[in-house]
Structure 1
Amino acid sequence: MMILFRRILFCLLWLWLPVSWAAESGWLRSPDNDHASIRLRADTSANGETRLLLDVKLENGWKTYWRAPGEGGVAPSIAWKGDMPEVSWFWPTPSRFDVANITTQGYHDEVTFPMIVRGTLPATLRGVLTLSTCSNVCLLTDYPFSVTPTVQNADFAHDYARAMGKIPLRSGLTDSLDVGYRPGELVVTATRAAGWSSPGLYLDTVDDVDFAKPRLRVEGDRLQATVPVTDSWGEKAPDLRNKSLTLVLADGAIAQESTQTIGTAPAQTPDNAALPFWQVVMMALIGGLILNLMPCVLPVLGMKLGSILLVEEKSRSHIRRQFLASVAGIIASFMALAAFMTLLRLSNHALA
């Protein structure tokens, strides 16, 4: 009797194990990329939706990308196999990476992407994840996977809720938000009664437009972000007014995703007003004094002054005319150099 009971228990365990294994793909690595591991998990919720979690683990120093990578990189994507309904992919708040004047938006260490599928699904979900990972080099890697959803798994529900907690909210961060455009710049202005501690701005993709790193300025409860804008060739950007833009504004652990129609930004006011003329003259005099005290100039001036003092038969007016002639020659030389450099600039040329 005991032997029969053990056999029945053994068979039940074998029937149960494939179901638990199929609820996730397990950690997958590619022989072409040992810097990243991915795992896909699936669960069917009480309201008939199928929830997915894509886990990505990266080695130290490696990163992957947000849905809008920025000036480089490729966003993660899945090519589903079979008759697959539309998948709603949720993106956690990214971080910004700046390398060699190239700004990108993405994730490091580890990240979990929650997804929801509504409709009739195949019994087993199959597809290929394409993931871009970068460090000093960039790798574009494919990960084939298959997973069979479980039914209302408590551990999965906890992980899914935690992952959704990192998705930007639709409201709750800003009291007001305005997006405007002026030639070459996008201006985002937001107010928050609680103030700003560590703000961040992440912009979605706009066709034929490249956004550079935002310049952030906080004044009390007001945040203003100025973003240099060019076209995809690095030239003059198209007019962005009346176009729709999705952005994520973050402050610490709180983030808000908003879609705004771009308006007209006020004309740019210089951060630093023009210096008064007397200050410019004083700076020029101080610069000239410093130049004359340099070791390559001071001995020459001393020799010239000594030669003048040794010439006793010359009149004071003659010596004064010599000094004025030297000054006129110096000024004329620098004016000629300035005119030459101006002509080069106007003709779009430069000296190497």
Structure 2
Amino acid sequence: MKYALILSLLTALPAAAQDLPQGLESARFLPGWTDAEGRRVAALELVLEPGWKTYWRSPGDAGLAPVFDWKGNNIGKVDFHWPAPEVVVSGGMRTLGYHDRLVLPFTVTPESPGQPIGISARVTLGLCENICIPAELDLVATAAGRQPDPVIEDAITRVPRPGKDLPACEIGEIEDGMTVTLSLPVPGAELAIEYATDPDIWVSAPELSKDGREVTADFVAPSGKPFPLDPQAVVMTVLGKDSATEYRGCTAG
């Protein structure tokens, strides 16, 4: 009984109290709260060492997005609320991610409504200073709080807002896939482009036109051949200085 209690306490410790991979000062799940619909709102918190970064859901030319292998109980659908990333150019490669601290909120819908949700997971992620390394963390959240956590609420406000008007786009074939040219609502803006329905499709770094009004990216499938690209699956996130806007889909001409 005494051994089981000690083991339980060690398992519940944040990763800051356990062995951490290089580049991290601390890692834990913020336990969050249960909302009015019975969903658990929580977050992954990473505090990085100076000069280190970790990655967004679409890392760019290099890097590894966080992957969660859930181990808890009563975990149904999990929706992530990704704060807008930063653009980092290192060694000639353009990546998207975070430095200093990342708070990544998520909402867990219970598999069995009305029953408690226990959150634990093995998290695989990329960490980078001069070179990038994969890392694994085993994290367990304590019980949900009674009130919303202002730290998580603040991170949710940093999620890109939905764009009102879908950008116009032109879609064409290339030898090993497809190419898409999108109109930009803000000329010359920093941005990210993803393909929402198939994570196996590689998307190149966006290339701005000379006048900064359009951006082009290539979409390459594992087959290495052209494929029926869905314009509604093209996601463009425009990164402003103080806010970001996400456009899910485009209007093909």
Matched, 1:85 2:85: no
Residues 31, 46 of structure 1: CA spacing in aligned structure 2 closer, same or farther, 3 A cutoff? closer
Deviations 1:294-352 (A, max 9, x none): xxxxxxxxxxxxxxxxxxxxxxxxxxxxxxxxxxxxxxxxxxxxxxxxxxxxxxxxxxx
More strand by share: 2
Q: Distance in 1 between matches of 2:229 and 2:116?
A: 44
Deviation at 1:34, TM superposition (A): 3.0
Deviation at 1:27, TM superposition (A): 5.1
Matched, 1:104 2:95: yes
Max radius of gyration: which structure?
1
Give secondary structure in 1 for the equivalent of 2:136: strand
TM-score, reference length from structure 2 = 0.76
Give secondary structure in 2 for the equivalent of 1:164: helix
Matched with 2:62 is: 72
Tell me, yes or no, if the aligned pair for 1:176 and 1:191 is still in contact at 8 Å. Answer: no
Which of 176, 185, 205 is the equivalent residue of 1:191? 185
Deviation at 1:168, TM superposition (A): 0.7
Which of 121, 125, 149 is the equivalent residue of 1:131? 125
Tell me, yes or no, if the aligned pair for 1:245 and 1:262 is still in contact at 8 Å. Answer: no
Deviation at 1:261, TM superposition (A): 4.2
Tell me, yes or no, if the aligned pair for 1:30 and 1:141 is still in contact at 8 Å. Answer: no
Q: Distance in 1 between matches of 2:29 and 2:182?
A: 37
Tell me, yes or no, if the aligned pair for 2:193 and 2:206 is still in contact at 8 Å. Answer: no
Which of 102, 107, 110 is the equivalent residue of 1:116? 107
| Structure showing greater relative contact order (alpha-carbon pairs closer than 8 Å, 6 or more residues apart) | 2
Give secondary structure in 2 for the equivalent of 1:161: helix
Q: Distance in 2 between matches of 1:30 and 1:237?
A: 46
Matched, 1:147 2:141: yes
Equivalent pairs, count: 230
Alignment of 1:1-352 (within 5 A): 26=14, 28=16, 31=19, 33-36=21-24, 37-47=26-36, 48-83=38-73, 84-119=75-110, 120=112, 122=116, 124-153=118-147, 156=149, 158-171=150-163, 177-182=167-172, 185-191=179-185, 199-205=189-195, 207-215=200-208, 224-229=213-218, 231=220, 238=226, 241-243=229-231, 244-261=233-250, 263-264=252-253
Amino acid corresponding to residue 41 of structure 1 in structure 2: L
Q: Distance in 1 between matches of 2:136 and 2:169?
A: 38
TM-score, reference length from structure 1 = 0.56
Residues 191, 137 of structure 1: CA spacing in aligned structure 2 closer, same or farther, 3 A cutoff? closer
Tell me, yes or no, if the aligned pair for 2:44 and 2:103 is still in contact at 8 Å. Answer: yes
Residues 216, 166 of structure 1: CA spacing in aligned structure 2 closer, same or farther, 3 A cutoff? farther
Q: Distance in 2 between matches of 1:146 and 1:262?
A: 43
Coordinate RMSD, CA, aligned: 3.2
Tell me, yes or no, if the aligned pair for 2:87 and 2:96 is still in contact at 8 Å. Answer: yes
Deviation at 1:212, TM superposition (A): 2.1
Tell me, yes or no, if the aligned pair for 2:60 and 2:95 is still in contact at 8 Å. Answer: yes
Deviation at 1:91, TM superposition (A): 0.9
Unmatched runs of 5 consecutive residues or more in structure 1: 1-20, 265-352
Deviation at 1:224, TM superposition (A): 2.1
Q: Distance in 1 between matches of 2:68 and 2:87?
A: 23
Residues 29, 65 of structure 1: CA spacing in aligned structure 2 closer, same or farther, 3 A cutoff? farther
Unmatched runs of 5 consecutive residues or more in structure 2: 1-8
